Amino acid sequence: MSTVTKPDTRRLDFGDLMHRYGTFVILIVLLAVASMLSDVFLTQRNLMNVLRQVAATGLMAVGMLFVILTRGIDLSVGSVSALGSVVSAVLVQQMAPGLAIGATVVVGAACGLVSGLLVAFLRLPAFVTTLAVMTIARGAAFIASSGQPIRMGEAGQTITAFGTGFVAGVPYPVLLMLAVFVIAGLVLTYTRFGRLVKAIGSNRDAVRLSGISVSRYEVAVYVISGILAAAAGIISSSRTGIGSANIGVGAELDAIAAVVIGGASLMGGRGSALNTFVGVFILGIIANLMNLANVPGYHQQVFMGVIIIGAMLLQYGSSFFRR
């Protein structure tokens, strides 16, 4: 039977607006609330602090964004960052810092490659596949570090210098994160790769039937995610100069939360780098606020969850209640 397409009724209503610009509304509300609650909040020092604390999450969120755009998910990023942290700390003792970092990135890429090949070619569900890679990477990190924190010491000076240094008042890790976000934004907007990644998430069949090798792109996004997760691991250990298999526990959830608060669809095809950055920033502000307000650690987790649900309701709930 033939179907009749409904005429396009595009009204600018509240739900639609919230859906599109909700992320920014949340950011503005949060900034307003924060500046009322605390005199310290809106200082440059504090804002830089917020950004530095989310630098690692931000890198992982960019990788997650690419994966989610293809309608996938990467649960392994937290563990891969731990592996990256340990591997960089071990290798930096044995080789030039540049080489050590390069090798660490390769390890991250390899983790992503495993997930990507399994998901793209064997069509295994991304959720379970990356869950498995998550435990493998975490285990490998513990093995490589023998369960002990590894001091980078003298050899790791370049890395710690990067972790603690500033340029014009902006910490290096923050610069790196911003650069990665800008590049991701450009890639998504202007390149064939970015365009096809979104198209694949939106309608995989149609892209495949246009003669495009969909699997290659799917593998690529997991590799990107693995690389950025390993880089996030290096960033995490660069401030303290200690590589540890214990970092990044639950970081995948922060990354997913940032992407989703940024308005991306877990069904693929929709999301942007700018919005994801705002999502990351929002998570950072909430954590920072609770610190400034002396909310105890465990309570913070509960609040964080509640606030994330609230943010989602604001974006999606209004269109739900309209029905």
Partner 1 sequence: MTEVVQLSGIRKSFGGIHALKGVDFVLRSGEVHALLGENGAGKSTLMRVLGGEHLPSEGEIRIDGLSAVFHRPADAMQRGIVVIHQEMALVPDLSVAENIFLAELPRLISWREMKRRARDIIQRLGFDIQPQAMVRDLSVAQQQVVEIAKALSRNARVIVFDEPTAVLSVQDAERLLTIIRDLRDQGVGVVYISHRLDEVFRIADRMTVMKDGTTVGMVEKSAVTIDDVIRMMVGRRLDALFGEDVPREIGRELLRTEGLGRGNVVRDVSLTVRAGEIVGLGGLVGAGRTELVRLIFGADRHDAGRIFVAGQQMRIRRPGDAVRAGIGLVPESRKDQGVVLDMPIRVNATMARLDPLTNLVGVVRRRAERQAVDALSDQLRIKASSQDAPVSSLSGGNQQKVVLAKWFHAEGRVLIFDEPTRGVDVGAKTEIYSLIRRFAAEGKAVLVVSSEHHELFGLCDRILVMREGRLAGQLMPPDYSEEKLLKLAMTSNANAA
| Residue ranges binding partner 1 (CB under 8 A) | 1-5, 8, 190-193, 195-196, 198-199, 202-203, 205-213, 269-270
Query: Nearest distance from residue 275's CB to partner 1, in Å?
Result: 16
Query: Nearest distance from residue 1's CB to partner 1, in Å?
Result: 6
Query: Nearest distance from residue 127's CB to partner 1, in Å?
Result: 21
Q: Measuring CA to CA, which residue among 247, 78, 91 is closest to residue 159?
A: 91
Q: Please tell me the distance from the alpha carbon of residue 284 to that of residue 302, in angstroms, as a whole number.
A: 15
Query: Nearest distance from residue 262's CB to partner 1, in Å?
Result: 17
Closer by beta carbon to partner 1, 1 or else 167: 1
Closer by beta carbon to partner 1, 24 or else 193: 193
Any idea which residue has 């994966």 for tokens? 67
Query: Nearest distance from residue 33's CB to partner 1, in Å?
Result: 34
Closer by beta carbon to partner 1, 35 or else 213: 213
User: What is the DSSP annotation of 2-32?
Assistant: ---PPP------HHHHHHHHHHHHHHHHHHH
CA angle 108, 94, 231 (to 5 degrees): 25
Q: Please tell me the distance from the alpha carbon of residue 145 to that of residue 180, in angstroms, as a whole number.
A: 29
Question: What tokens were used for 14?
Answer: 């509240």
Is residue 96 within 8 A of residue 262, CB to CB? The reply is no
Closer by beta carbon to partner 1, 41 or else 217: 217
Query: Nearest distance from residue 101's CB to partner 1, in Å?
Result: 23
Question: What tokens were used for 120?
Answer: 């793209």
Any idea which residue has 């563990």 for tokens? 79
Query: Nearest distance from residue 273's CB to partner 1, in Å?
Result: 16
Query: Nearest distance from residue 43's CB to partner 1, in Å?
Result: 39
Closer by beta carbon to partner 1, 83 or else 188: 188
> Amino acid identity, residue 18?
M
Question: What tokens were used for 105?
Answer: 């990135």
Any idea which residue has 């608060």 for tokens? 261
Closer by beta carbon to partner 1, 207 or else 286: 207
Closer by beta carbon to partner 1, 195 or else 322: 195
Is residue 114 within 8 A of residue 102, CB to CB? The reply is no
Query: Nearest distance from residue 106's CB to partner 1, in Å?
Result: 22
Closer by beta carbon to partner 1, 116 or else 194: 194
Q: Measuring CA to CA, which residue among 173, 175, 182, 188 is closest to residue 221?
A: 188
Tally the C-alpha atoms within 13 A of residue 295's C-alpha that lie toward its C-beta: 15
Q: Measuring CA to CA, which residue among 258, 251, 298 is closest to residue 85?
A: 251
- Alpha-carbon torsion 163, 103, 182, 14, what sign? negative
Closer by beta carbon to partner 1, 16 or else 292: 16
